[in-house]
Amino acid sequence: MYSSSFVPGGRCSTSKLRPMPLLFVPTPLGNLRDVTLRALDALRDAELIVAEDTRVARKLLHALGLRGREIWSYREANANRVTVPIVERARAALVAVTCDAGMPGISDPGWKLVAAAREAGIRIEVLPGPSAAMGIALLSGFPLRRFSFEGFAPRTSGARRARFASALQANATTIWYESPRRLRAALEDLAAVAPDAQVFVVREYTKLHEQHLSGNVADVMAQATEPIRGEVAFAVAPYATVARDLRDSDPGAAIDALLDGGRRIGEVAKLLAARGLGERHELYACAVARKARRKASIKRR
Protein backbone atom coordinates (compact mmCIF):
# COMPACT_ATOMS: atom_id res chain seq x y z
CA MET A 1 0.00 0.00 0.00
CA TYR A 2 1.09 3.55 -0.71
CA SER A 3 0.52 5.01 2.73
CA SER A 4 1.52 8.24 4.37
CA SER A 5 1.99 9.23 7.97
CA PHE A 6 2.79 12.70 9.19
CA VAL A 7 6.16 13.16 10.84
CA PRO A 8 6.21 16.23 13.12
CA GLY A 9 8.74 18.74 11.88
CA GLY A 10 9.22 16.96 8.58
CA ARG A 11 7.58 15.59 5.47
CA CYS A 12 5.14 12.73 5.34
CA SER A 13 6.80 9.35 5.15
CA THR A 14 5.68 6.84 2.54
CA SER A 15 5.86 3.08 2.57
CA LYS A 16 5.16 0.37 0.01
CA LEU A 17 3.09 -2.11 1.94
CA ARG A 18 0.83 -2.98 -0.99
CA PRO A 19 0.96 -2.33 -4.75
CA MET A 20 1.13 1.32 -5.69
CA PRO A 21 -2.19 3.01 -6.46
CA LEU A 22 -3.28 5.25 -9.26
CA LEU A 23 -3.37 8.41 -7.16
CA PHE A 24 -5.59 11.40 -8.00
CA VAL A 25 -3.96 14.55 -6.67
CA PRO A 26 -5.83 17.90 -6.45
CA THR A 27 -3.77 20.96 -7.34
CA PRO A 28 -4.17 24.58 -6.17
CA LEU A 29 -6.86 26.61 -7.90
CA GLY A 30 -4.73 29.73 -7.84
CA ASN A 31 -2.99 30.23 -4.51
CA LEU A 32 -0.04 27.83 -4.26
CA ARG A 33 -0.33 27.77 -0.47
CA ASP A 34 -3.51 25.71 -0.89
CA VAL A 35 -1.46 22.65 -1.85
CA THR A 36 -1.62 19.94 0.83
CA LEU A 37 1.27 18.09 2.44
CA ARG A 38 0.01 14.80 1.04
CA ALA A 39 -0.24 16.28 -2.44
CA LEU A 40 3.36 17.49 -2.23
CA ASP A 41 4.53 14.04 -1.17
CA ALA A 42 2.57 12.33 -3.94
CA LEU A 43 3.94 14.65 -6.62
CA ARG A 44 7.44 14.18 -5.24
CA ASP A 45 7.24 10.38 -5.06
CA ALA A 46 5.39 9.66 -8.28
CA GLU A 47 7.37 8.11 -11.10
CA LEU A 48 4.87 9.49 -13.61
CA ILE A 49 2.64 12.55 -13.40
CA VAL A 50 -0.43 12.69 -15.61
CA ALA A 51 -1.73 16.18 -16.42
CA GLU A 52 -4.17 17.96 -18.72
CA ASP A 53 -1.67 20.49 -20.09
CA THR A 54 1.98 19.53 -19.56
CA ARG A 55 3.03 23.19 -19.73
CA VAL A 56 0.70 24.12 -16.86
CA ALA A 57 1.91 21.10 -14.88
CA ARG A 58 5.58 21.99 -15.36
CA LYS A 59 4.97 25.54 -14.17
CA LEU A 60 3.25 24.23 -11.04
CA LEU A 61 5.96 21.66 -10.32
CA HIS A 62 8.66 24.27 -10.86
CA ALA A 63 6.92 26.61 -8.41
CA LEU A 64 6.72 23.78 -5.88
CA GLY A 65 10.40 22.95 -6.29
CA LEU A 66 9.72 19.66 -8.09
CA ARG A 67 11.62 19.72 -11.36
CA GLY A 68 12.64 17.17 -13.96
CA ARG A 69 9.52 14.99 -13.61
CA GLU A 70 8.14 12.71 -16.31
CA ILE A 71 4.76 14.09 -17.38
CA TRP A 72 2.19 12.64 -19.76
CA SER A 73 -0.71 14.60 -21.17
CA TYR A 74 -4.21 13.23 -20.55
CA ARG A 75 -7.17 15.16 -21.95
CA GLU A 76 -10.37 14.56 -23.88
CA ALA A 77 -8.57 14.57 -27.23
CA ASN A 78 -6.16 11.74 -26.37
CA ALA A 79 -7.92 9.87 -23.55
CA ASN A 80 -8.82 6.86 -25.68
CA ARG A 81 -5.21 6.49 -26.81
CA VAL A 82 -3.33 6.94 -23.54
CA THR A 83 -5.68 5.44 -20.95
CA VAL A 84 -4.35 1.89 -21.31
CA PRO A 85 -0.64 2.92 -21.18
CA ILE A 86 -1.31 4.92 -18.01
CA VAL A 87 -3.08 1.99 -16.37
CA GLU A 88 -0.26 -0.37 -17.35
CA ARG A 89 2.31 2.01 -15.91
CA ALA A 90 0.34 2.11 -12.64
CA ARG A 91 0.74 -1.66 -12.23
CA ALA A 92 4.33 -1.23 -11.08
CA ALA A 93 4.82 2.47 -10.30
CA LEU A 94 3.13 5.28 -8.45
CA VAL A 95 1.23 7.39 -11.00
CA ALA A 96 -0.15 10.75 -9.87
CA VAL A 97 -3.08 12.12 -11.87
CA THR A 98 -3.60 15.89 -11.77
CA CYS A 99 -5.51 18.54 -13.68
CA ASP A 100 -4.76 22.18 -14.47
CA ALA A 101 -6.44 23.30 -11.24
CA GLY A 102 -8.53 21.66 -8.55
CA MET A 103 -9.83 18.11 -8.38
CA PRO A 104 -8.91 15.91 -11.35
CA GLY A 105 -11.74 14.02 -13.00
CA ILE A 106 -14.42 16.69 -12.47
CA SER A 107 -14.29 18.61 -15.75
CA ASP A 108 -11.80 16.38 -17.57
CA PRO A 109 -11.89 12.70 -18.65
CA GLY A 110 -10.36 11.43 -15.39
CA TRP A 111 -13.46 9.35 -14.68
CA LYS A 112 -12.58 7.19 -17.71
CA LEU A 113 -9.19 6.52 -16.17
CA VAL A 114 -10.82 5.48 -12.89
CA ALA A 115 -13.14 3.07 -14.69
CA ALA A 116 -10.28 1.54 -16.72
CA ALA A 117 -8.04 1.18 -13.67
CA ARG A 118 -10.78 -0.49 -11.64
CA GLU A 119 -11.50 -2.91 -14.47
CA ALA A 120 -7.78 -3.75 -14.63
CA GLY A 121 -7.62 -4.35 -10.88
CA ILE A 122 -5.50 -1.27 -10.18
CA ARG A 123 -6.08 0.31 -6.79
CA ILE A 124 -7.31 3.91 -6.87
CA GLU A 125 -6.91 6.63 -4.27
CA VAL A 126 -8.21 10.18 -4.32
CA LEU A 127 -6.59 12.78 -2.09
CA PRO A 128 -8.85 15.47 -0.64
CA GLY A 129 -8.14 18.99 -1.76
CA PRO A 130 -9.31 22.12 -3.56
CA SER A 131 -12.60 22.11 -5.46
CA ALA A 132 -13.86 25.30 -7.09
CA ALA A 133 -17.42 23.97 -7.23
CA MET A 134 -17.59 23.34 -3.48
CA GLY A 135 -15.97 26.66 -2.58
CA ILE A 136 -18.31 28.65 -4.81
CA ALA A 137 -21.34 26.75 -3.53
CA LEU A 138 -20.54 27.82 0.03
CA LEU A 139 -19.62 31.40 -0.95
CA SER A 140 -22.99 31.82 -2.67
CA GLY A 141 -24.92 31.73 0.59
CA PHE A 142 -27.63 29.70 -1.18
CA PRO A 143 -29.22 26.62 0.47
CA LEU A 144 -26.93 23.58 0.19
CA ARG A 145 -28.86 20.70 1.73
CA ARG A 146 -29.30 19.69 -1.89
CA PHE A 147 -27.27 21.10 -4.77
CA SER A 148 -26.01 19.96 -8.14
CA PHE A 149 -22.81 20.55 -10.07
CA GLU A 150 -23.75 21.11 -13.70
CA GLY A 151 -20.27 21.60 -15.18
CA PHE A 152 -19.88 23.83 -18.22
CA ALA A 153 -23.06 25.15 -19.80
CA PRO A 154 -23.62 24.21 -23.47
CA ARG A 155 -22.03 26.47 -26.07
CA THR A 156 -25.15 27.30 -28.09
CA SER A 157 -27.98 29.54 -26.90
CA GLY A 158 -30.80 27.08 -27.50
CA ALA A 159 -29.00 24.24 -25.74
CA ARG A 160 -28.11 26.50 -22.81
CA ARG A 161 -31.70 27.60 -22.31
CA ALA A 162 -32.93 24.03 -22.38
CA ARG A 163 -30.23 22.96 -19.91
CA PHE A 164 -30.98 25.86 -17.55
CA ALA A 165 -34.73 25.17 -17.67
CA SER A 166 -34.16 21.49 -16.91
CA ALA A 167 -31.62 22.07 -14.11
CA LEU A 168 -33.73 24.68 -12.32
CA GLN A 169 -36.67 22.29 -12.03
CA ALA A 170 -34.75 20.33 -9.38
CA ASN A 171 -35.48 23.11 -6.87
CA ALA A 172 -31.86 23.05 -5.68
CA THR A 173 -28.85 25.30 -5.91
CA THR A 174 -26.94 24.67 -9.14
CA ILE A 175 -23.23 25.30 -9.75
CA TRP A 176 -21.92 26.08 -13.23
CA TYR A 177 -18.53 26.64 -14.86
CA GLU A 178 -18.27 29.04 -17.79
CA SER A 179 -15.76 30.63 -20.12
CA PRO A 180 -15.30 34.38 -19.45
CA ARG A 181 -16.00 34.94 -23.17
CA ARG A 182 -19.43 33.29 -22.88
CA LEU A 183 -20.50 34.44 -19.40
CA ARG A 184 -22.65 37.35 -20.57
CA ALA A 185 -24.38 35.22 -23.22
CA ALA A 186 -24.98 32.48 -20.65
CA LEU A 187 -26.53 34.94 -18.20
CA GLU A 188 -28.74 36.35 -20.96
CA ASP A 189 -30.01 32.85 -21.69
CA LEU A 190 -30.58 32.24 -17.98
CA ALA A 191 -32.59 35.48 -17.85
CA ALA A 192 -34.77 34.25 -20.73
CA VAL A 193 -35.65 31.15 -18.70
CA ALA A 194 -35.63 32.55 -15.17
CA PRO A 195 -35.47 36.38 -15.18
CA ASP A 196 -35.82 36.78 -11.42
CA ALA A 197 -33.39 34.01 -10.47
CA GLN A 198 -30.77 34.90 -7.88
CA VAL A 199 -27.21 34.43 -9.16
CA PHE A 200 -23.76 34.49 -7.57
CA VAL A 201 -20.76 34.82 -9.90
CA VAL A 202 -17.14 34.32 -8.84
CA ARG A 203 -14.22 35.40 -10.98
CA GLU A 204 -10.65 34.29 -10.24
CA TYR A 205 -11.53 32.22 -7.15
CA THR A 206 -8.60 32.05 -4.64
CA LYS A 207 -6.51 34.39 -6.80
CA LEU A 208 -5.29 37.92 -6.23
CA HIS A 209 -8.12 39.62 -8.12
CA GLU A 210 -10.99 37.45 -6.87
CA GLN A 211 -14.35 39.13 -7.54
CA HIS A 212 -17.89 38.36 -6.37
CA LEU A 213 -21.05 39.51 -8.16
CA SER A 214 -24.52 38.80 -6.80
CA GLY A 215 -28.17 39.66 -7.31
CA ASN A 216 -30.71 38.83 -9.98
CA VAL A 217 -29.46 38.21 -13.50
CA ALA A 218 -29.84 41.84 -14.59
CA ASP A 219 -27.99 43.07 -11.48
CA VAL A 220 -25.07 40.74 -12.09
CA MET A 221 -24.77 41.65 -15.77
CA ALA A 222 -24.77 45.33 -14.82
CA GLN A 223 -21.92 44.73 -12.34
CA ALA A 224 -19.79 42.72 -14.78
CA THR A 225 -17.33 45.03 -16.50
CA GLU A 226 -15.95 44.21 -19.94
CA PRO A 227 -13.78 42.52 -20.89
CA ILE A 228 -14.43 39.66 -18.46
CA ARG A 229 -11.19 37.79 -17.83
CA GLY A 230 -9.98 34.84 -15.78
CA GLU A 231 -11.64 31.72 -14.44
CA VAL A 232 -15.40 32.11 -13.97
CA ALA A 233 -18.08 30.07 -12.21
CA PHE A 234 -21.54 30.87 -10.92
CA ALA A 235 -24.27 29.54 -8.68
CA VAL A 236 -28.02 29.85 -9.19
CA ALA A 237 -30.33 29.75 -6.18
CA PRO A 238 -33.23 27.25 -6.02
CA TYR A 239 -35.84 28.50 -8.45
CA ALA A 240 -38.34 25.80 -9.36
CA THR A 241 -40.60 26.49 -6.36
CA VAL A 242 -41.54 29.80 -7.97
CA ALA A 243 -42.59 28.05 -11.15
CA ARG A 244 -44.51 25.41 -9.24
CA ASP A 245 -46.35 28.00 -7.18
CA LEU A 246 -47.39 29.81 -10.35
CA ARG A 247 -48.32 26.59 -12.10
CA ASP A 248 -50.67 25.66 -9.28
CA SER A 249 -52.48 28.99 -9.52
CA ASP A 250 -54.10 31.01 -12.28
CA PRO A 251 -51.40 31.94 -14.86
CA GLY A 252 -53.15 35.28 -15.06
CA ALA A 253 -51.46 36.34 -11.81
CA ALA A 254 -48.06 35.66 -13.33
CA ILE A 255 -49.02 37.56 -16.48
CA ASP A 256 -50.22 40.56 -14.46
CA ALA A 257 -47.03 40.56 -12.39
CA LEU A 258 -44.83 40.65 -15.48
CA LEU A 259 -46.96 43.30 -17.18
CA ASP A 260 -46.73 45.41 -14.02
CA GLY A 261 -42.97 45.01 -14.22
CA GLY A 262 -42.93 46.58 -17.66
CA ARG A 263 -42.51 43.40 -19.72
CA ARG A 264 -43.82 43.40 -23.29
CA ILE A 265 -46.51 40.88 -24.21
CA GLY A 266 -44.14 38.82 -26.33
CA GLU A 267 -41.66 38.62 -23.45
CA VAL A 268 -44.42 37.59 -21.04
CA ALA A 269 -45.49 34.70 -23.26
CA LYS A 270 -41.92 33.57 -23.82
CA LEU A 271 -40.92 33.67 -20.15
CA LEU A 272 -44.00 31.90 -18.84
CA ALA A 273 -43.82 29.22 -21.53
CA ALA A 274 -40.22 28.55 -20.49
CA ARG A 275 -41.47 28.09 -16.92
CA GLY A 276 -43.97 25.51 -18.08
CA LEU A 277 -47.11 27.60 -17.50
CA GLY A 278 -48.61 26.84 -20.88
CA GLU A 279 -48.19 27.06 -24.63
CA ARG A 280 -46.55 30.24 -25.85
CA HIS A 281 -49.34 31.23 -28.30
CA GLU A 282 -52.02 30.65 -25.65
CA LEU A 283 -50.11 32.72 -23.10
CA TYR A 284 -49.63 35.47 -25.68
CA ALA A 285 -53.38 35.62 -26.37
CA CYS A 286 -54.13 35.60 -22.66
CA ALA A 287 -51.66 38.43 -22.06
CA VAL A 288 -53.19 40.50 -24.86
CA ALA A 289 -56.66 40.01 -23.39
CA ARG A 290 -55.59 40.78 -19.83
CA LYS A 291 -53.71 43.90 -20.91
CA ALA A 292 -56.77 45.12 -22.84
CA ARG A 293 -59.04 44.51 -19.83
CA ARG A 294 -56.63 46.34 -17.56
CA LYS A 295 -56.61 49.37 -19.89
CA ALA A 296 -60.41 49.37 -20.10
CA SER A 297 -60.66 49.17 -16.32
CA ILE A 298 -58.35 52.14 -15.90
CA LYS A 299 -60.41 54.23 -18.37
CA ARG A 300 -63.64 53.49 -16.48
CA ARG A 301 -62.23 54.83 -13.21
The neighbouring-strand residues paired with 211 are 203
pLDDT number for residue 38: 94
Render pLDDT for 12-28 as a digit per residue (tens, 0 to 9).
444 444 557 899 999 99
Instruction: Identify the CA nearest to 38 among candidates 51, 52, 24, 50.
Output: 24
d(CA 107, CA 272): 33
Instruction: Identify the CA nearest to 62 among candidates 102, 32, 103.
Output: 32
Render pLDDT for 141-195 as a digit per residue (tens, 0 to 9).
999 998 999 999 999 988 998 899 888 888 899 999 999 999 999 999 999 888 8
Question: How much is the average pLDDT of 207-226?
Answer: 90
More confident residue, 291 or 40: 40
Render pLDDT for 82-103 as a digit per residue (tens, 0 to 9).
999 999 999 999 999 999 999 9
Do residues 14 and 41 lie in contact, with contact meaning Cβ atoms separated by under 8 Å? yes
For 86, 152, 217, 244, the CA distances from 76, given in Å and listed in that order, are 14, 14, 32, 39
For 33, 63, 68, 128, 188, the CA distances from 283, given in Å and listed in that order, are 55, 59, 65, 50, 22
DSSP E strands: which ranges in 34-122? Answer: 48-51, 71-73, 95-97
Instruction: Identify the CA nearest to 277 among candidates 193, 188, 162, 157.
Output: 193
pLDDT number for residue 78: 92
**Burial code of 259-287, b = ≥16 C-beta within 10 A, e = fewer?**
beeebebebbbbbbbbbebbebeebbebb
d(CA 170, CA 165): 10
pTM: 0.69
| CA 295 from centre of chain | 46
pLDDT > 70? residue 129: yes
Angle subtended by helix axes 240-247 and 251-260, to nearest 10:
120
pLDDT number for residue 166: 85
What contacts 281, CB < 8 A, 6 or more positions away?
269
3-state DSSP assignment of residue 130: coil
Give counts: helices (H), strands (E), the chain. 12, 12
3-state DSSP assignment of residue 166: helix
